[in-house]
Structure 1
Amino acid sequence: MTGLRSLRPGARLRSGLCLLAVVLVALTGGLAVGAAPAAAAPAGADYAVIVGAAGLRWDDLNPTDTPTLWKLAETGSIGAMSARSARTLTCPQDGWLTLGAGNFAERPPLSADKTVCPAWSVPVEVQGEGAFLPDQDSVDEHNTARPWGARPGALAESVRCSTAIGPGAAVAVARSAGRVDRYAADPPADLKRVLAQCVLSVVDAGTVSGVGADRQAAARRVDATAARVLAARPARSLLTVVGVSDTETPARLHVAIVDGPGFAGGWLVSPSTNRPGYLQLVDVAPTALELLGRARPATLFIGQPLTRADTDRPAALADAVKALDDADQEAGAQRRVADRFFVTLVVVQLALLAVMVPVLRWLRRTRRRHPSPPPPAWLLRVLEVALLASALAIPAAVVTDLVPWWRAVNPDRWFAAIGLVVLAALTAAVWFSRWGRRPLGPLALVAAIAAAVVGVDVLTGSTLQLNGVAGYSTLAGVRYAGIGTIGLGVFAAGLLLGAACLAQRLVPRRRRAWVVLGVGFAGVLLVGAPGFGSDPGGAIALMVGVCVAAALARGGWLTFSRLAGAVLAGAVITVLFVAVDLSRPAEQRGNVGRLLAEAGQGQVIFQRLGQANVVAFVTSPLTLLAVAGGLYGYFVLLRPWGGLRRVYGLHPAVRGGVYGAMAAALLGSLLDGGGVMAAGAAAATVVPVLLLAGLRVVRHVQEPHTGEQPAVKPVEIPHPAERRPLK
């Protein structure tokens, strides 16, 4: 109590406002999270039959060459499946093992070249009606030691009896000791009797690879096998057809068809994706057990049971397949284009930051007793436009995905061309606007554009971030809906800086915290609410940033009491979000709820998150911008000649927005397993316009100092006798 009472009235007011916002966010967020409707569970089945074909994609299906699969897709539920495994490129042996484990797995030996799938053969020893895999012990030991903790054969261990037809199926259903209950190398003549022997049957329908006629011939063979299985399937059975893996680079989305009780038409959807029409390979195993009425090993499976969603599936199957194939094309092009885009952005921004150092020091020399000539006006204008354009690059990339550039013959060039047009339009809109010529104008406008672009996309279903260059890829198997890590960084930076500029411009000093808290309150709900941002971790991080920005909105330093208040607010929000999240069914929990629930059961979820952060930190180009932005701010912008100190002095609320954005982006990156990607995206958006604002402030200060002393009119001092007496 003594510590709280010792705070100044203004500090107590800001702390009270922050805690009030925390309570409001918690209550409203809890209602939003708790109001998420539960998915209807499909009807039960007596048998589960899984047909897998490595490499099978939606562009392989058509009514002529694959009539059985086409007909099955008409009557059943369909979706685009990410065949992610524990390996970067999911090869057939990894896909089959992942299917049976219900978790990300990989089968050794591992190839040195991670971009090529090696030829593989399974050492299957036939033993009567069953079989034995002699290397299963080493496979089990290898995957148990991996961060995902997959247990090969977990699906088969959950039922009393399973049947495998083909070598890939044997890999999927081999138990921990390597035993396969029932095995046949090829579909036997009495296939109907074989499928009825066990409640679970897995069929290896072959591999689809190559191009042209060879690929279509392989697809026809898969269809012929599916036709035999369809004719022999037991009554009240769930039939699942999936493309279990890739066969070559780049990775692609694959076929997923489920036909049986509860799956008549519509899209497939899983709580692991929360996006109708998208699912993961790890969802197949829990779906089979759910329909069979068997308990799922929650500590081993990371997938979730599939359900059917009727929303927006076209009446004609050809249109639905075209949409799925289009999603596959976009996902395949996104990875390649995104890598080039961010590498180019990093190179351009680092070059601009380097060029601005001598320019700022050049301006500094104009204030000396013997000044240097000022930099040419045209050079400063070019640099200002370049800084403005680089700050708008990521929002422009998000907007560019409104145009289907991935359908072009050369998607890289089309994205570059369309993106440059969008970037030029956004840059011109800011540059020629009423506020564009003011020192703080570009900062406020860029922040507003960044927050609006990402916010509107989240409100409309995050369709621009889905497989977007500045979004997330469904092939990565990390996120399929809501706000992504890059989007979170851009949104947090735009929201908090925009709120700070708004508070600085429109309200008196004593009311600025209210503006920041009000805008931040809406942003936290948008990020954390299911159906919108769906990112509780991002909401927690953003709430901490909001409290930091509000604490500094009136000026002053980030004291221990202010920092403690922000940390306390974040802790309260974390506890309340987690409490509400843990009260929901396991399949409907968010990332934070699953993290703590699995950690309480002894899982290695923290190790997974740590590994994901390390991988993202090492591999993402945005790491360079995050590190360079922090170092540049300290060693350049905050120097006497950098201009940022003067910006903070004239506009103290901006400093709170910058510090709040930094805190939110860094914490959000770590909670999402993105390393410092969100911080890098925030730096890419904020640092150039902060530099632009500092440049303009420095130029404004230097303009009167031309090296000549202004003429001073002499002042005559009257004689003491002539002075007027004081009254």
Structure 2
Amino acid sequence: MLRPPPLLLAAVVSLLALLGLGVSGTAAAAKPLSDDDADYVIIAGAAGLRWDDIDAERTPTLWMLAERGAIGSLSTRSAHVPTCPGDGWLTLGAGNYAERTTTEVGEVCPKLDVAIERPDAIGAYLPDQRAVVERQRELPFGTVPGALPESVRCTAAVGQGAAVAAARSFGRVDRYAPELPADPTSTLSKCLLSIVDLGSVDGLTPQRRAKQVQAADAVLAKIVKGRPERSTLLVAGVSDTDRTSRLHVVIADGRGWTGGWLTSASTGRPGYLELVDLAPTALSMLGRDAPKKIMAGHAAAHAQGRPDDLGEATAAGTDADRQAAAARTVSAWFFWLLALAQIGLFAAVVPLLRRSYRHAGPTGPTPPPERVVRLLELLLVGAALAMPAALITGIVPWWRFGQRGLIFFAVTGLVLALLTVLTVRLPVSRARTLGPVGAVAAIAAAVVGLDLVTGAKLQLNGVAGYSALEGGRYAGIGMVGMGVFFAAVLLSAACLAQLVPQRRRPLLVAGVGAVPILLVGTPAWGADAGGAIALTAGVCLTAALCPGGWLNFRRLAVALGIGLVVAVGFAYVDLHRPVEQQGSLGRFLAQFADGTSGLTLNRLGSANRIALVTSPLTVLALVAAVFMWAVLMRPWGGLKRLYGIYPPVRAAVVGIAVASVLGGLLGGAALNVAGTAAATALPLLTLGAMRVLGHAADRTRIVEESVSADTPVGVSGA
């Protein structure tokens, strides 16, 4: 590891990774429009408003604004699940994740019923605001109710929901009206910021919903008619209305917001905004800076690429909403079924491993039938390919049909069967012990890698990806894709390293790991600098251990040194990018510099705790660790023999463990990344262990004439 070629290649890898950060991502084309500041900003919100509610005939005002302005899909994530109207309006006014609903939500969110006192004829007072503020202090987000109205001199509110958003932290609403007057010109021009409640769209029947949307459109028509000159209008579906979380409407209409998509640094993908982005957006439109210490969102920006036909654009929003809702329901079943299926498969393998173990005694267990061995090998290959198959299924629009869950599982099963048959019939899978391991790893790495370079379209709102409804990620590589990618890349590197002499293995592993690090860290592709750092650590440790031997101080020092160089480089470049193009790492370092990183750390810690106790992938990660220790590492388990004959495999396992755990912690996913990596790697390790037990003729053989004293003899690929 201390020879010049590996170090030279590591330096090249670092340089490529850093240059990759200069490639613009989807958010790079979006530029905040600070030159077109508005004199007035009006936020018109309707709880539950979705893109499938809007058409040219029933909602002419909404259709006109959408055709003229910039549009997007709004994720209404708040501190409460689901985001009921009270939570949505409070989150809007705070610019941070907030919670107002205190009762258990059944099928339908409770009606918004806020006590509003009118001590004078101008403003209003919310008597329960003190309790609301105290409740937010118990949450990990650092939310301050009323942060938006506190950032401007005067705020006008119309309706109960608007009063919740416009109330200052002590409960005062500067100007308040229960409903919009027939001529709202005076109401909308008295303050720089006006917030109007258009009503809720919560009808359980299509007829009732249509009437509510038409009523909201009629109120919006009055706003459009009476809005002041040089005003910008934001229309948003500020919350859900039942337990089914959905994506909602967001429209910006005003100077500089003509056509195109809405996006922000929070989402990094054209056509998507978060609810917490609306408060910073309103302040940005007024030429004011958002208080970063208490607001979690980022100002909206304008991005190109929207279809010229509005019907096509709104259909895309409706389709994304349906896909996200369907994937959220199906994903829970998919991951629990995957976890249970793999646990059952591992249990079935135990007696076969014991019967396959050949010891030196005069008698031994009867070898298992060849058909049983082939069947289990087939099932193990299929188990490792389950998540890549689910990712590929996203190509088929299964969410557009009835019985969506059945269609998804049917298509995924078909894709999985094709991939499995392809893998086992490859010549390399038959000729070499590690053949199927390398083939599966290469397929999985190719599926995730190709998805990243084509815009991560299969991961967005995919069952094996991430959901815009969760509000955590909208572009780049997700936690599930990260686990699959880490395991696949490092196992592929290990299988290739087995084919070359010992002294060249670190060079090969570093070279194979260079492109994946670039893919994960570049904003245009993976957009996860923390994940790139985690993968760098895994690649460095794999390179250090792949010649064989133990992880001594010299190897560890070199691996950590290279990893530190890449980490510092990623951090430096990301920190010095424009704010709207920064990744999570750059934003965190900027917050650390101005003293606001505590809120991010609290949110990250909370996300890790929730993911740890609620995800089936956590169960799979723990089961994988127990299975490796209690079964595979036993003398009859085969893994020790696999490690002895193929040292790069052991190196890859160490690298996968370090990279996946580190990537999960940095991403707020706890053991989810490790669980996903285990779901890909453990079936392959079990398959390899079965094969080396069955291939008793496999032996370690020397491939180099001279080997260093602290390195064991290398092996060839059998």
Q: What TM-score range do you get, normalising by the shorter chain?
A: over 0.9
Are the aligned partners of 1:346 and 1:624 in contact in 2 as well (CA < 8 Å)?
A: yes
Offset of residue 249 of structure 1: 1.9
Aligned counterparts, 1:326-725, within 5 A? 326-364=319-357, 368-437=361-430, 438-505=432-499, 507-600=500-593, 601-602=595-596, 603-701=598-696
Offset of residue 668 of structure 1: 0.4
Distance 1:703 1:591, change over 3 A: closer
Are the aligned partners of 1:599 and 1:606 in contact in 2 as well (CA < 8 Å)?
A: no
Specify the SS of the correspondent of 2:516: helix
Give the distance between the partners of 1:39 and 1:250, measured in 2 at CA: 31
Aligned counterparts, 1:181-200, within 5 A? 181-200=174-193
Q: Which amino acid aligns with 1:174?
A: A
Offset of residue 35 of structure 1: 5.1
Of 257, 264, 269, the match for 1:263: 257
Offset of residue 617 of structure 1: 1.0
> What's 1:235 paired with?
229
Offset of residue 624 of structure 1: 1.3
Give the distance between the partners of 1:22 and 1:478, measured in 2 at CA: 32
Of 266, 289, 292, the match for 1:295: 289
Specify the SS of the correspondent of 2:96: coil
Are the aligned partners of 2:157 and 2:177 in contact in 1 as well (CA < 8 Å)?
A: yes
Specify the SS of the correspondent of 1:436: helix
Offset of residue 595 of structure 1: 2.2
Of 27, 31, 36, the match for 1:40: 31
Give the distance between the partners of 1:611 and 1:17, measured in 2 at CA: 43
Give the distance between the partners of 1:585 and 1:224, measured in 2 at CA: 41
Are the aligned partners of 2:183 and 2:222 in contact in 1 as well (CA < 8 Å)?
A: no
Aligned counterparts, 1:16-415, within 5 A? 20-34=8-22, 36=24, 37=28, 39-42=30-33, 43-108=36-101, 110-113=102-105, 116-126=108-118, 127-209=120-202, 210-311=204-305, 313-364=306-357, 368-415=361-408
Are the aligned partners of 2:31 and 2:303 in contact in 1 as well (CA < 8 Å)?
A: no
Offset of residue 703 of structure 1: 11
Q: Which amino acid aligns with 1:461?
A: G
Are the aligned partners of 2:357 and 2:694 in contact in 1 as well (CA < 8 Å)?
A: no
Q: Which amino acid aligns with 2:491?
A: L
Distance 1:584 1:198, change over 3 A: same
Offset of residue 404 of structure 1: 0.5
Give the distance between the partners of 2:10 and 2:146, measured in 1 at CA: 46
Offset of residue 608 of structure 1: 1.3
Give the distance between the partners of 1:24 and 1:609, measured in 2 at CA: 32
Offset of residue 117 of structure 1: 1.9
4+ aligned runs moved over 6 Å, structure 1: none
Offset of residue 17 of structure 1: 5.7
Tell me whether 599-608 or 186-195 shows the greater mean CA deviation.
599-608
Give the distance between the partners of 1:665 and 1:17, measured in 2 at CA: 27
> What's 2:703 paired with?
none
Are the aligned partners of 1:482 and 1:533 in contact in 2 as well (CA < 8 Å)?
A: yes
Give the distance between the partners of 1:61 and 1:335, measured in 2 at CA: 24
Offset of residue 287 of structure 1: 1.0
Give the distance between the partners of 1:348 and 1:327, measured in 2 at CA: 30
Tell me whether 466-475 or 133-142 shows the greater mean CA deviation.
133-142
Are the aligned partners of 1:18 and 1:547 in contact in 2 as well (CA < 8 Å)?
A: no
Give the distance between the partners of 1:81 and 1:234, measured in 2 at CA: 26
Give the distance between the partners of 2:168 and 2:697, measured in 1 at CA: 77
Specify the SS of the correspondent of 1:40: coil
Are the aligned partners of 1:283 and 1:305 in contact in 2 as well (CA < 8 Å)?
A: yes
Q: Which amino acid aligns with 1:298?
A: K
Deviations 1:268-313 (A, max 9, x none): 11111111111111111111111111121111111111122111x2
Distance 1:586 1:299, change over 3 A: farther
Offset of residue 583 of structure 1: 1.9
Deviations 1:445-492 (A, max 9, x none): 011011100000000000000001110000000000000011011111
Are the aligned partners of 1:162 and 1:180 in contact in 2 as well (CA < 8 Å)?
A: yes
Offset of residue 29 of structure 1: 3.1
Deviations 1:32-63 (A, max 9, x none): 32453463332211110010000000111111
Are the aligned partners of 2:246 and 2:469 in contact in 1 as well (CA < 8 Å)?
A: yes
Offset of residue 113 of structure 1: 4.0
Are the aligned partners of 1:541 and 1:663 in contact in 2 as well (CA < 8 Å)?
A: yes
Are the aligned partners of 1:89 and 1:115 in contact in 2 as well (CA < 8 Å)?
A: no
Count of residues paired in the alignment: 689
Distance 1:20 1:167, change over 3 A: farther
Are the aligned partners of 1:366 and 1:374 in contact in 2 as well (CA < 8 Å)?
A: no
Give the distance between the partners of 2:556 and 2:602, measured in 1 at CA: 28
Which is higher, the Rg of structure 1 or of structure 2? Answer: 1
Give the distance between the partners of 1:419 and 1:216, measured in 2 at CA: 36
Gaps (5+ residues) in structure 1?
Answer: 1-10, 705-727
Tell me whether 370-379 or 218-227 shows the greater mean CA deviation.
370-379
Are the aligned partners of 1:272 and 1:279 in contact in 2 as well (CA < 8 Å)?
A: yes
Are the aligned partners of 1:287 and 1:304 in contact in 2 as well (CA < 8 Å)?
A: yes
> What's 2:712 paired with?
none
Tell me whether 22-31 or 203-212 shows the greater mean CA deviation.
22-31
Deviations 1:370-393 (A, max 9, x none): 233321211111111111101100
Q: Which amino acid aligns with 2:391?
A: V
Specify the SS of the correspondent of 1:479: coil
Identity of aligned residues (%): 51
Give the distance between the partners of 2:5 and 2:98, measured in 1 at CA: 48
Specify the SS of the correspondent of 1:205: strand
Q: Which amino acid aligns with 2:20?
A: A
Give the distance between the partners of 1:564 and 1:88, measured in 2 at CA: 46
Tell me whether 651-660 or 42-51 shows the greater mean CA deviation.
651-660
Give the distance between the partners of 2:198 and 2:7, measured in 1 at CA: 59
Specify the SS of the correspondent of 1:663: helix
Distance 1:107 1:645, change over 3 A: same
Give the distance between the partners of 1:560 and 1:47, measured in 2 at CA: 63
